Structure 1
Amino acid sequence: MVITAANNTRLSRRLLWGLILLYILPGLFARTPWKPDDAAGFGQSFTFSQLPFSEWAMSLIGDRMYVEGGLLSAWLAGLFGKLALAVDLPHNWLDDAMRLGNVFWMILAGWAIWNTTYRLAKRVELQPEDPLGTAPTRVDYARAVADASVLCFLGTLGLLVRSHMQVPEIAELAGISIMLLGAVRSLDRPIGAGWMLGAGIAIAFFARGWAHCLPFLLLLLVSSMTHSSLRFGLLRRMTRAAAVFAIPFAIWFFWLMSQKNGELWWNAWNEWNVRRFLILDPTQSFDLVKLVITLKTLTWFLWPILPMACWTIWRYRKALTEPSIRIPLAGGAAGVVVLLITNPADEANYFPLLAPLSVLAAIGLSTMKRGLISLIDWFAVLWFTFAAVLVWLGWTAATFGFPAKIAANFEKLSPGYVPDVIGLELALAFLASIAWIRLIVWRTASGSRALWRPMVLTTGGVILLWLLMMTLWIPRIDYAKSFKALGDAITQSVLNHQAAANRECVADYNLGYAQRATLQYHAKVDFIRKGQFKEASECEYLLLQDDTRQSLKIKVDFESKASERWELIWTGNRNSDRHEFFFLYARTQQVEQQTENSSR
């Protein structure tokens, strides 16, 4: 494919950043935390927002230690929460304010991916053939390819849902993207590369631990050091710059861990990191079942950048040793290593692949034949149009009861939900659908030959689907995944039982992280964990969680041992979950009198 100035049309900076905001903002606000991962991450951040900075050394959900993840994303969300409390925002807006951290991490990741691709695309080995002397300048060509990399990044299916949740892998993705940029900058600016590598290491480490950070650091360093122009002296300066950036953070972090309960959390967090390595856990192994899970998840999670990156590797198979291909390829290899040594069933473990594969996918766009580009376009048109029609059809059935069969299926998924047509959301969904039709017309009629054109419809289709889901379906999704109604019911049950009772805390038993976080937020009570069936003298109430699929064994066991101390005053569950039940107990009057006598 001959690249000319016509292929080199670049996206305006406003449009590019506007696309990122249009991608990330819908779905962040006007909803409650969703179980399980979003709710657990919110609980971690919510606890930080309630604590003084001196107690931020230990990640908690209520009074319960939480080590699954890191601290950085929760710190940032907790900081937004503190700001929201400082300006006296309503209580139900607090979770919305904390999700602003996602906007920061997504913009940071997009910036790093754009700059990584830009610096690679300027290199000599990636310049297009120019037999007629009509090729664009290096800078113009690099900008067009970099624009395409951001579209590839936003058009990846696996990023869509979790990027709108309070999960640590979003911050880790930003850190890995910066590490990749640092490896690329080592080719010409080793000191700046050291700063970038140090920043990326710090972000990735604090975000999600060293289990993912270590493979990337090793492979990217090896890939960078094999560059012939990176002599020992330059490498030493790059390492020194990285250390200057990373060591102060490490000292501060270890000082923080030396504070109250910090060492306890640090040891538990390290144990969690070790358990993530299958080879270090004798009870785990990477067998055929995990291989099948990995291949199935890769197929949809990394669509379409995985096949596009494979195309790039094939087209540049004779130039794999060139830095412009070797460095993002090393990043992709590190992501594969992460999958092989960790749990492939966890979607969070696929996030390290997003940045290097987005770069590789964009690099190969200029080598694609016109027929392949048309195939990508028409696949996007057919698939996303069909999906959009299904979303509209589902909303029509769920709202107006026609078609009846589809409406019945929705009722099974969210029994008891009463649909309500909201004019603003309906208007936004309609405008998004019109914009999709206009985008298709523009793409097919304009004859644009810009390098990024194969990704326009794919990225636009992803944004369309998300906008439709977050306007037409968001009330029903929120109803199915939220604990707000359950939290309100618990609060009302406590008030109805004894209005004058001390309800500063509720003891809990067998309560999951997600349930604990959201119920504490919505019910506005503090949960005190009960490790055994002993009475919690500081709490008047106890909340127990059990599952009907286990024949409510925990509830039966509890009542057989503590029936004289606690009485059942409320039972409830979310309408969308037929198996998860909650039981609220109140301390019996006899126990209260005994407690008062013993205190005297």
Structure 2
Amino acid sequence: MRTVVRLTASATRALPRWLLLAISIVYAAFGLFGRDPWKNEDAAGFGVMWTMANGDAHDWLLPNLVGKFITESGPGGYWLGAMLIRLLAPWVDAADASRVSTGVLFCLTCALVWHAAYLLGRRPEVQPFKYAFGGEPEPRDYGRTLADGALLILLASFGLAERGHETTPQLAQFMSIALVVYGLVRGLDKPLQGAICWGVGLGLVGFTGNPLLVAALLLGTLVMTAFVREARSPWLFAVGVPLALVLAAAWPAAVLGLYRDGDARWFVEQWFNGSINRFSPPPGHVVIYALKNLPLFTWPAWPLAAWAWYSWGGLRNKPHVAVPLAVIVPVLILSVLQSHQTNRLYILLLPALATLAAFALPTMKRSAINAIDWFAVLSFTILSTFVWLVWLASQTGFPHPLARNLSRLVPGFTPHFDALSFVCAIAVTVCWFALVRWRISRHPNVLWRSVVLSSAGTTLMWVLLMTLWLPIVNYSRTYRDVALQIAQHLPDDYTCISPVRLGDAQLASFAYFADMQFSFSGDCDVLLRQDTQDFSAPSPMPSYIWQLVWEGRRAADRDERFRLYVRVDRPKVAPPHRKPLVRHR
């Protein structure tokens, strides 16, 4: 049965451009600057970019973290950040420069999602009912309103806040998948252009991600074209598929051609085989993790997308439903089949989910719209009030229970007043209450009214967290202080440091903040180890013994404990040059 949408032209009044741009830019910009790399993936991703920016062609083609190979993703996800570190090095801190790439990729994704929804919204099969005497919206206005809704839904997604501001390769994959969706949509009316965009997007998924993700998206596209007549195009297979395969294979081919050593071959094998080994029938605790976290991460995009699929029941084989599903289904399957607990892939669902969710807006009942609005008003007002109260407690000690709990959670934290952050927090809070007053008093009869408060609310919360709470969050998630403590106890003439059980975030932070020289060969005169419990000292070696010179941890982390050992019989005269880093396999 064909779905009939009844709308008047007044329901597709465009969202003011300044408001849409303001929400997008504010959301993207806050949280990128003025902070340290955070544990875990944020610091690890930055460390690879920083290593590339200070390395040679070998580092750019074989991503590594101060010598330790990182084989989970291709190098493309790090290149833009590394280039910006080099380009902005004289003026901008390396950590802030790397996050400029995050902002660029985020904004590109927003633009691609908007245009994909806009093109789908102009298609004839989704147009509202035509009245006898006119008054229905024009396809251009209808498509523009749906595109605004798709972008607002994307910004309203809970999980995008933190993941969308990290320096990880997932941001490049996020943008690449949005390009895949746009290419499939563009190919409906311009087959060659769409095939090129789709092929480039799929190739970039391989260049920034892994081959299994490419294969899953390719399979999803093939299945979709079998059911959707409008999406069948000879250009997709004659141009798009070869282009995608060439781009995806260009990097491993270049690596194997330029470097004929065992490291290059081993890296490519680990990248290829590891992408498959990371997915398997998941154990029970992984499924439980997904059931708990995936719905919250993708809220409110997933319930709106589910309603769109249900409400357009007669047109599920049409592009506005089938094209997003061609991406959602394979990525969702991979997200659930991960062999360990992680939400890294969840962000890759959001571009297609937001595009499909936009088509729920014309079919929603007034009661559902009001419920969404009141939920957004109540939840974000309460949460923002709590953020303000915690900030007040950190500054004044009142309310006393919050101040006491805060000192317990972040012991040693010294609060300070930042006038600029305070002004920004006041401004965004005033804008929130003004928007709520406008929405409640005017009752605008437009499609995007049901999601504008949700997207503004997530923007409000993110800005408040990145202004009022930024010193607290930064203190609790940075390794700067412990890195500087370790550096004070390092011998001036040490050769290198052997890391034991150090994570990628710790390696990156210690190398960046304290210029520590790590080696993975095991032949070093300094040893730095991390313990999660009271381990005994390292076993003595045949020809020397270790002396404990420092022991400590981050003040905000009770689980980690670091111990620094110096070899007793190490040479007392510094060598003329430090030994080159031995790459860890």
Matched to 1:250, the amino acid is: A
Select which of 536, 542, 552 maps to 2:535.
Answer: 552
Q: What is the aligned partner in structure 1 of residue 502 from structure 2? A: 511
- Going from structure 1 to structure 2, the CA distance change for 1:299 and 1:229 (only over 3 Å counts) comes to closer
Displacement of 1:125: 1.4
Change (3 A) 1:224 1:39: same
What is the identity, as a one-letter code, of the residue corresponding to 1:3? L
Q: Is the CA contact 2:499–2:528 (under 8 Å) kept in the aligned structure 1?
A: yes
The answer to whether 1:586 aligns with 2:585 is no
Residues 302 and 528 (structure 1 numbering): CA distance in 2 closer, same or farther, change over 3 Å? same
1:103-146 deviation digits (Å, cap 9, x = unpaired): 12112211221121111111111111133521111111101101
Q: Distance in 2 between matches of 1:171 and 1:228?
A: 31
Pairwise CA distance, 1:38? 0.7
| Structure 1 range deviating more: 386-395 or 238-247 | 238-247
Which residue number in structure 1 is paired with residue 269 of structure 2?
A: 267
The Cα offsets for residues 158-213 of structure 1, whole Å up to 9 and x where unpaired, read as 11111111112111111111111222223222211210111111221122212323
Matched ranges for 1:376-387 at <5 A: 376-387=372-383
Aligned pairs for 1:132-143 (under 5 A) are: 132-143=133-144
Q: Distance in 2 between matches of 1:344 and 1:313?
A: 30
- Aligned AA for 1:302? T
- Conserved in 2, the CA contact under 8 Å of 1:191 and 1:238? no
Give 1:445 shift.
1.6
Q: State the 1:340 CA deviation.
A: 3.4
**2:91 corresponds to which of 89, 93, 99:** 89
Aligned residue in 2 for 1:247: 246
Per the alignment, residue 293 of structure 2 pairs with 297
- Pair 1:243–1:493, CA change in 2 (3 A): same
CA distance in 2, matches of 1:562, 1:412: 45
User: Does 1:449 pair with 2:449?
Assistant: no
In structure 2, the partner of 1:194 is 195
Q: Distance in 1 between matches of 2:214 and 2:505?
A: 26
Residue 184 of structure 2: aligned partner: 183
| Aligned CA distance change for structure 1 residues 221 and 18 (closer, same or farther; 3 Å) | farther
Deviation at 1:299, TM superposition (A): 2.3
Cα displacement (A) at 1:289: 3.7
Matching residue within 551, 572, 579 for 1:571: 551
Matched residue of 1:526: which SS?
A: coil
Corresponding residue for residue 527 of structure 2: 542
Say yes or no: does 1:51 pair with 2:34: no
* C-alpha deviation, 1:245, in angstroms: 6.3
Distance in 1 between the 2:54 and 2:332 partners? Answer: 39
- Residue in 2 that maps onto 1:102: 102
State whether residues 479 and 506 of structure 2, in contact with CA within 8 Å, keep that contact through their aligned partners in structure 1. yes
Q: Report if the CA contact (8 A) 1:61-1:513 is conserved.
A: yes
Identify the residue that residue 9 of structure 1 maps to in structure 2.
Answer: 13
Aligned-partner SS, 1:347: coil
Name structure 1 gaps, 5 residues minimum: 279-284
**Whole-Å separation in 2 of the counterparts to 1:563 and 1:376:** 70
Partner Cα separation in structure 2 for residue 351 and residue 508 of structure 1: 32
C-alpha deviation, 1:372, in angstroms: 1.0
Superposition pairs for residues 355-366 of structure 1, below 5 Å?
355-366=351-362
Residue 561 and residue 408 in structure 1: after superposition, are their counterparts in 2 closer, same or farther (change >3 A)? Answer: farther
- Could you say what secondary structure the match of 1:582 adopts? strand
* Partners of 1:176 and 1:213 within 8 A in 2: no
Cα-to-partner distance string for 1:228-253 (whole Å, 9 max, x where unaligned):
3566xx41565325524652663354
Report if aligned partners of 1:57, 1:262 keep a CA contact under 8 Å in 2: no
Question: Which stretch has the larger CA shift, 30-39 or 448-457?
Answer: 448-457
Please state how far the C-alpha of 1:522 moved relative to its aligned partner: 0.3
In 1, the alpha carbon distance for the partners of 2:479 and 2:225 equals 49
When structure 1 is superposed on structure 2, of 366-375 and 208-217 the one drifting more is 208-217
**1:35 counterpart residue number:** 39
> Deviation per CA, 1:32-68, whole angstroms, max 9, x where unpaired?
0111111111111110011123541111110111113
TM-score normalised over the length of structure 1:
0.90
Matched residue pairs, number?
A: 567
2:513 to 511, 522, 526: 522
Deviates more, 1:379-388 or 1:294-303: 294-303
Partners of 1:245 and 1:13 in 2: CA distance: 35
Mean Cα deviation higher: 560-569 or 471-480: 560-569
Overall identity of the aligned pairs, in %:
30
CA distance, structure 1, for counterparts of residue 314 and residue 236 of structure 2: 32
Determine whether 1:113 maps to 2:113: yes
Higher helix share: 1
Are the counterparts in 2 of residues 110 and 150 from structure 1 also a CA contact under 8 Å? yes
> Could you tell me how far 1:3 is from its partner in structure 2?
1.4
1:269-288 to 2 correspondence within 5 Å?
269-278=271-280, 285-288=281-284
Worse-superposed segment, 473-482 or 236-245: 236-245
Structure 2 CA distance for partners of 1:56 and 1:410, relative to 1, 3 Å: same
**Structure 2 match to 1:334:** 330
Distance 2:574 2:46 in 1: 36
SS in 2 for 1:569: strand
Contact kept, 8 Å, 1:193 with 1:238, in 2: the verdict is no
User: Cα distance, 1:371 vs. partner?
Assistant: 1.4
